[in-house]
Chain A
Amino acid sequence: MSRWDVKVSPYLYISPFFISFAIFGIFPIAFNVVVAMHSWHRRLGQGEYVGLDNFRWVLEQPAFWTSLQNTFSIFLLSIGPQLVFALAIAAFLDQNLRTKTFWRMSVLVPFVVMPVATALIFAQIFGQFGLVTPVIQELGLFTDVSSPFYQDRLLSHVAIATMVNFRWTGYNALIFLAAMQAVPRELYEAATIDGGGRLRQFFSITIPNIRATMIFVVLTMTIGGLQIFDEARMYDGTGTGGSNNEWLTTVLYLFNLGFGDWADRLGQAAAVAWLFALVIIAFTLINFALTRSIASSRSTRSKVPPATTRRLIAEARARAEASSRAARDAGVPTLVGTTSRSGHPDALSSAQEDTER
């Protein structure tokens, strides 16, 4: 009994996941191949075998290509601002703040507002009678149309990207904050003693040290951001992506084909799913390679072990001590800044070269 217990239990305990994943994970993906090669409808079910016709049909649809363009346009409009603001917010949070829990919770508020609710709120803000449109028309922009954020394709992408940024910036800021707090404080102390300013510290110490986390965030943003659906579907009342597909995203296109009021093409929708999965995987890999090469080409990447850091601090302290003593003994005012500012990066980078060799 007991031996049986020890031998079988481990497999028994992990089996729920594997059973569930086999049924609702692997099987649908395999089955998707079958669906994509048949004519298939919600009500009639499986139709005849059509081979690759569904793929051909999808590739001939202008709406499919428009949806890909829109998806990438919205993604690109959201990734940059999100990274910049999240890093800035994290840098400000990474201090000895009063009521720090309050500030951290506050930036996470947008994350717990239901995405569809956020979408409707921003649709109101960017709408014809919302907050933004009267202001930009007052400035003489887009006065030829009544609601530019719905009639101009790029502006509709800006509005939707704003919703995405609103939801995820604070969340990503907390992830960056966690990474920043893991950076050894001795590095900042050494930089402070050697006269490196706050901005210099941010770019030369913080950013290189949270490199792995930045790659992680960019990758999750890519996979999640390309699958955008809620915001695009809720942007207007009909939810089909605009009268000229202005803000039709690929997942919304898939939804419209499979489950929309005007289409019942499950086979073609399955083909869209395949094509889009390939696009996501390819783009993620490119993105990964790109992010990694950009991040690692920085020569400032820190490889200083704690022991070296401690030694540097001790030396810098000794220098500070000695120079202030020398200045006092000589009765001469020290030349401010210049020596220390040029001295610091050299000291650090030479130490880096030592450790890298």
Chain B
Amino acid sequence: MSTALIENISGKGAKKYAQKRAAQGRPIKLGTQSHNPANRRPAWPTYVFLSIVVMVSVFPLYYTALLGSSTRLEIAQSPIPRLVPGVQLLHNLGDIVSHHQIEFWMSFGNSLLVAVLVSASTVFFSTLAGFSFAKLNFRGRTALYVFIIATMAIPMQLGTIPMFIMMNTFGWIDSLTALVVPNLVVAFGVFWMTQYLSEALPYELIEAARVDGASMFRTFWSIAMPAARPAAATLALFTFVGSWNNFFWPSVVLRSQMTLPLVIPQLRGAFTADHALVMSGVLLIALPLLVVFVVVGKQLVSGVMAGAVKG
């Protein structure tokens, strides 16, 4: 029995050694300390496997950089024009930014404005509602909360056509308002903040503030908001990414106004036969969020993982 255990803990080599020792009549005696496999460092095959996964994850971006740093002729000659991105990339990026048909900076500004407004308001209203659901008592609380959760299951494409007609009636077609106002607060945000606040905010703090004569809103602002900060940051991040990457709704309501995802189909129209320029444009548009990711990636990871346990 013990050699099988040794194999599990320390591998085949150790097992062979243990068998040899046992055959010589002096088997290895295992202590009663923990054999928890979670404490063991994984061996090299794990790192090889994960390295392959990482290479697959970044390969499309790397390939884009390769094509983006080529010229039209080089791409026509070979699907892999080079192995390392080069200075041609900077020339191509310059061409994209200065191209008259592609208003890169305007689109960038629009995307940023919409994403910031939507995430700020989603965080504020979700925290406000979450505070109410998690810590205040009122009639119908449970029923209303269950209702909010139920709304998350509705396929939103069901409302696309009426929403377009509404935007048309409001005069919001081709306006950023149509991207911001319908997304000021979403069910998921309320759910997320309620879950967090019901655990993270002790009743004693709220009562202390109330005893000191603070109004409800003051209690929310100076007690609940600071307590909600970690979950609020994660929610802001996910809302930002969602808004930044959104393609369907902007392509329904925008015409001359642009956000970054809408620029990508334009690249094809502007540089029909020039794959090098198209791909450098794609890289340019994908890049801002990747730069942000380097800074906040750790938080995004823990956000995904926290959502899994709660969801």
Interface residues of A (CB under 8 A from B): 2, 5-7, 9-11, 13-14, 16-18, 20-21, 23-25, 27-29, 31-32, 35, 40, 42, 45, 89, 92-93, 95-98, 101, 103-110, 112-118, 120-122, 124-125, 129-131, 134, 166, 170-171, 174-179, 182, 185-186, 188-189, 192-193, 195-197, 201, 213, 216, 220, 223, 227, 229-230, 233-234, 237, 239, 251, 254-255, 258-259, 266, 269-270, 273-274, 276-277, 280-281, 317, 319-321, 323-325, 327-328, 331, 333-334, 336-337, 339-341, 343
Contact = CB atoms under 8 A, between A and B. Distances in A.
Given A116-B261, A175-B308, A189-B37, A277 B297 contact: no
A357 B245 CA distance: 51
A-B pairs with lowest CB-CB distance, top 8: A28-B159, A178-B305, A175-B308, A195-B4, A28-B162, A9-B216, A13-B132, A10-B138
B290 A112 contact: yes
A254 B32 CA distance: 65
Contacts of A129: 75-76, 79, 275
Contact of B132 (A5, A9, A95, A134): A9
Interface stretch (B87-95, B96-104, B226-234, B278-286): B278-286
A106 B60 CA distance: 13
Residue from A27, A95, A182 having most chain B Cβ neighbours under 10 A: A95
B260 interface: yes
Interface in B189-216: 190, 215-216
10 contacts: A16-B129, A96-B38, A101-B301, A108-B301, A174-B304, A178-B304, A195-B8, A201-B37, A333-B19, A340-B4
B113 interface: no
A21 B28 CA distance: 68
Interface in B280-311: 282, 285-286, 289-290, 292-293, 297-298, 300-301, 304-309, 311
Given A117-B282, A125-B60, A273-B158, 13 more contacts: A23-B182, A92-B46, A92-B49, A96-B41, A106-B58, A109-B58, A114-B289, A121-B60, A171-B304, A175-B307, A193-B8, A266-B161, A270-B162
Nearest to A4: B216
B165 interface: yes
A266 B158 contact: no
Contacts of A269: 160-161
A315 B133 CA distance: 47
A103 B148 contact: no
B137 interface: yes
A132 B155 CA distance: 35
A167 to B, nearest CB: 10
Interface string B243-285: 0110110011000000011001101110010010011001001
B300 A112 contact: yes
B2 interface: yes
Nearest to B125: A16
A320 B2 contact: yes
A125 B63 contact: yes
A47 B154 CA distance: 28
A239 B265 contact: yes
Contacts of A229: 247-248
Nearest to A336: B3
Contact of B264 (A20, A117, A192, A201): A117
B25 interface: yes
Residue from A213, A327, A341 having most chain B Cβ neighbours under 10 A: A327
Interface residues of B, number: 118
Given A107-B53, A234-B265, A340-B5, A17 B190 contact: yes
B290 A193 contact: no
Contact of A337 (B4, B35, B165, B292): B4
Contacts of A320: 1-2, 5, 30
Contact of A216 (B37, B217, B261, B311): B311
Contacts of B165: 31, 35, 40, 45, 266
Contacts of B115: none
Interface in B86-139: 125-126, 128-129, 131-133, 136-138
Contacts of A331: 25
B61 interface: yes
Nearest to A163: B60
A10 B46 contact: no
Interface string B1-39: 111110111000001000100110111111010111111
B57 A14 contact: no
A260 to B, nearest CB: 11
Given A107-B53, A216-B311, A277-B157, A192 B304 contact: no
A18 B190 CA distance: 11
Contacts of A343: 1
A182 to B, nearest CB: 7
A140 B285 CA distance: 37
Contacts of A122: 60
A276 B265 contact: no
Nearest to A28: B159
A14 B46 contact: no
Contacts of A104: 301
B223 interface: no
Contact of B157 (A109, A116, A166, A227): A227
Nearest to B8: A192
B177 interface: no
A123 to B, nearest CB: 9
Given A108-B301, A112-B289, A189-B36, A280 B264 contact: no
A189 to B, nearest CB: 5
A53 B217 CA distance: 53
Nearest to B213: A2
Given A185-B38, A340-B4, A114 B154 contact: no
Contacts of B7: 195, 337
Given A178-B306, A193-B35, A273 B187 contact: no
B80 interface: yes
A98 B50 CA distance: 12
